[in-house]
Amino acid sequence: AQSVSQHNHHVILSEAASLELGCNYSYGGTVNLFWYVQYPGQHLQLLLKYFSGDPLVKGIKGFEAEFIKSKFSFNLRKPSVQWSDTAEYFCAVHMNYGGSQGNLIFGKGTKLSVKP
Amino acid sequence: DTGVSQNPRHKITKRGQNVTFRCDPISEHNRLYWYRQTLGQGPEFLTYFQNEAQLEKSRLLSDRFSAERPKGSFSTLEIQRTEQGDSAMYLCASSLAWDRDYNEQFFGPGTRLTVL
């Protein structure tokens, strides 16, 4: 079955540290890729997305992600995190198969705690 | 606020009771999705509508679950004969896309269900 893996359950960083959160998916066909963020007490918000074109995509708040097709990966990065980046981050993949238009598969999420 | 809204935000019920949740999508969005999220997991797809037609259902959607979108606007998700395993956050999302296109989903705040 298709799946999305996020390698880290909980990441703790100090402010100004660099961040990289891993995401891998298991599907060899066409995909649309997303990172969503959920700040404490808030709902899921789209951070960035990849549909096609340049595999390095930039999102809001200085986040970026790189799609590496050969590795089935879509890792999220930020050069310097801030305390306000404390949140839970979800990788999500839409896999175009069998006419499926709705099936967005999420990873289990990574909690990021940034120490001031 | 023109985002996705969900009501109620919290629901506590006794095992065996029926519950119904409502989702109001972003007004011009033609697609509406339901997800379920349990502790420590990412959202899991339940079902989705394009306008009033329910086009896809997950195997997670047992026969106790039913969803409707009668006029292609708001949607309801009903759970009959609730079980303790139904306790979760139920998320609604909407998007605007046509035919075989796909577009990012915008999420509501969720309804947290607790079954005693």
Report CB contact under 8 Å: A105, B91: no
Report CB contact under 8 Å: A44, B42: no
Q: Which two tokens stand for residue A44?
A: 């899921």
Q: What is the pLDDT of residue B11?
A: 98
Residue of B nearest to A44 (CA): B107
Nearest CB to B48 within list A46, A96, A102: A102
Q: Decide: helix, strand or coil at residue B84.
A: helix
Q: What is the pLDDT of residue A100?
A: 58
Question: What is the DSSP pairing of strand A23-25 with strand A31-38?
Answer: unpaired
**A115 within 8 A of A84, measured Cβ to Cβ:** no
Q: Which residue has the tokens 């379920």?
A: B36
B:73-92 residues touching chain A, CB 8 A cutoff: 91
Nearest CB to A90 within list B33, B42, B106: B42
Would an 8 Å CB–CB cutoff place B41 in contact with chain A? Answer: yes
Report CB contact under 8 Å: A44, B91: yes
B28-79: pLDDT as tens digits: 899 999 999 998 899 999 999 999 999 888 888 889 999 999 988 999 999 9
How far is A58 from A81, CA to CA, in rounded Å?
15
Distance from CA of A68 to the nearest CA of B (A): 20
A93-115: pLDDT as tens digits: 988 765 556 678 999 999 999 99
A17-68: pLDDT as tens digits: 999 999 999 988 888 999 999 999 899 999 999 988 999 999 999 999 999 9
**A64 within 8 A of A56, measured Cβ to Cβ:** yes
Sign of CA dihedral B89, B5, B32, A4: negative
Phi, psi of A90 (to 5 degrees): -120, 130
